[in-house]
Structures are given as structure tokens and as C-alpha cells.
Amino acid sequence: MLLWKDFSAWLCIEGKEAPEYDVEVSEDERTVTCWIASELGKKFSVHWTNSSFYQCTTGRVKMDGTDCGGKTISGRILPQTVCKDGLTDGATLKPFMFSSLSLTDDDAYLGGAFLPDLGVIKLVITPTQVSSNQTRHSGRGSDLSTLKVHERSKKAVTQQITLAQAKMLATPITFVTTTPTGPAVVTFLFKYRPIDILRANGIAPPCAPVQSSPPPAKRVAKENKPLVNQETKPARVKRELATDSESDVIDLTQGSPGPRRKRVKLEGFVQGEIIDLT
């Protein structure tokens, strides 16, 4: 959501609020700019809220430089939110939709006044005065021309905004005439590109790495080894020493191969005393 004092604005793509990237605010120009990821064939709508600006305001929307009408907030009861989701003749609505840009190599299409705003959704909010006259029909065509751009002029823009198939409105729309009473309060600019282009230019964060599942834990077979001798080492020493009741000298080398070693005399050994050789 973009914020400017008493106003906020955002885009919804297929009913979900679109993330905004690289938001910039210009205090001098009263402009808030961001990038959004466009998706081919997806419908979208422009939303804005007046939270505390107690004057009548009109938000007018432009798609790729083409005026697409707007909505008015009276300013008497706030906060109030409105939505612009397409072009209407009062009885039907053609929703806004992201589409592929039509390219040509015909030099007659080089340049063009719309090119600076190609790939931009603009919302300009201005204080206005509403005429007392109301009508059921807008008196203007309900269409958004398909752009055709020279292939050398697209400047990394690969999409444009067109209109989806018309649908009947449950309630007919009433149109009013407004007159500006002052300069624009704020302008919100949504620059749209495919998410891959935004990532390639460092505007949107890269894809999160796919985490592979850890390999299944290996089962370790427990071998039931036969217990040869469950008697502890100190206990064995105690038993072996206890059997030598005739002498106070213990030969620790008995049964060992190689040259015969000296006999070790244990001073002060008492029969039945435990000596831990570990």
C-alpha cells in the first residue's frame, strides 16, 4: 500500500493486493512511485482511500497514458474507499487486464505521445466540485485501444493493459461531472513489468531457493552379540587375586610369550584385598 498524508492507494490482481517494490516518495512533486509484478491474462483493479481530507476529491486513472475515467469521494463521511476496476458505459463493465504488447517493424509507429507512459498505471487525486447533473450513461466509448509499438521502442516493456470481456452490472452506474478546484493533491504511479524482469534488474527479490528434503535416516541394525563374560574387570581381578592365598607375590606375566619378566612383589597385600589394575 502506497501512502501520502491523508491518502493511500494500492492495486489488487485477481482480488489479491499486489506487492509493491522499490517505493519512492517525492515531496516536491507530491508523487509516490513503485513497481508491481504484472501477470498476463490477470484482471486487476485500482483502489484508494481518503482517510481525513475533508474536501471533495476525484481520482482519475490512466492506463499506459490513456484516460480511463475515475471515481469521486465527497469528503463528508471519512474514511472512504473507492475502486476503479475497468471501463463502463453505465450498464456493463469491461475489467482491466494485463496483455501482451503488440509489436511491429513499421517505422510509422516509431515515437508516439503514449510511449513515456507505456507500462505505467497512474492515479491522480485532485480536489473537485461536483455538478448537480447526473446521468445513467457516460457518453463515452467503453473501450481501451490495443497499442501497437515499434520493436525498437518498447524499452523492455513486453505487456500492455487491455480490457477483458464485458459483464453486466447488477446496479447501473450514475455519472457526474466534476470541475477541479485546485492542483493535484497527490499522484500515485504503479510501474508494471513481469516479475522476471523486476528480479533481473534487482527491483524484486530473487526466488527463494528450493529446500530439498533431508535423506531418510538410515536404520542401524542392533546386533545381539552373545555376552561372553558379564563379570566386570575389577570383579575378575578380585576373584583371581583372592585365589592366591599361599603367597603375597603375584606373577603378572604368567602365560605371556617372550622372555620371562621379573616377578612383582606387592608389599602389604592382605588376602581378600581388592586391587584394581585398571
Between 199 and 264, where is the model more confident?
199
Residue 193, pLDDT > 80, answer yes
Amino acid at 213: S
Distance CA 207, CA 234 (A): 64
Per-residue pLDDT band at 85 (split at 50, 70, 90): very high
Asked if 47 and 10 count as a contact pair (C-beta separation under 8 A), the reply is yes
Which stretch of DSSP H or E encloses residue 168?
strand 167-168
With cut-offs at 50, 70 and 90, classify the pLDDT of residue 227.
very low
Distance CA 154, CA 167 (A): 32
- Rounded to an integer, what distance in angstroms lies between the CA atom of residue 17 and that of residue 13? 6
pLDDT digits (tens, 9 = 90+) for 2-19: 999 999 999 999 999 999
Cell 542401524 belongs to 220
Mean pLDDT of 144-168: 82
Q: What percent of the chain is modeled with pLDDT above 90?
A: 52
The yes-or-no verdict on residue 27 having pLDDT over 70 is yes
What nine digits make up the cell of 60? 482519475
Work out the angle at residue 59's Cα, subtended by the Cα atoms of residues 85 and 70, and round it to the nearest 5 degrees.
Answer: 45
Weakest mean pLDDT among 13-22, 84-93, 192-201, 264-273: 264-273
Mean per-residue pLDDT for 59-74?
93
Would you give the end-to-end CA distance of the chain in angstroms?
A: 75
- Taking CA atoms, 2 is separated from 28, 84, 195, in Å, by 17, 16, 19
**Can you tell me the distance from the alpha carbon of 264 to that of 239, in angstroms, rounded to the nearest whole number?**
19
Q: How far apart are CA 196 and CA 130, in angstroms?
A: 43
Return the pLDDT at 142.
56
* Cα gap 261→263, rounded to integer Å: 6
From 8-22, 65-79, 135-149, 240-254, the region with the lowest mean pLDDT: 240-254
As a whole number, mean pLDDT of residues 156-166 equals 90
The model scores a pTM over 0.75: no
Between CA 35 and CA 275 the distance in angstroms is: 83
Are the CB atoms for 135 and 75 separated by under 8 Å? Answer: no
Q: Is 19 helix (H, G, I), strand (E, B) or coil?
A: coil
Helices (H), the chain: 195-200, 233-242
Q: Coil, strand, or helix at residue 137?
A: coil
Residue 137 clears pLDDT 90, i.e. is over it: no
Q: What residues does 63 pair with on adjacent strands?
A: 66, 121
Domain boundaries, given as residue ranges, for the chain: 2-200, 229-278
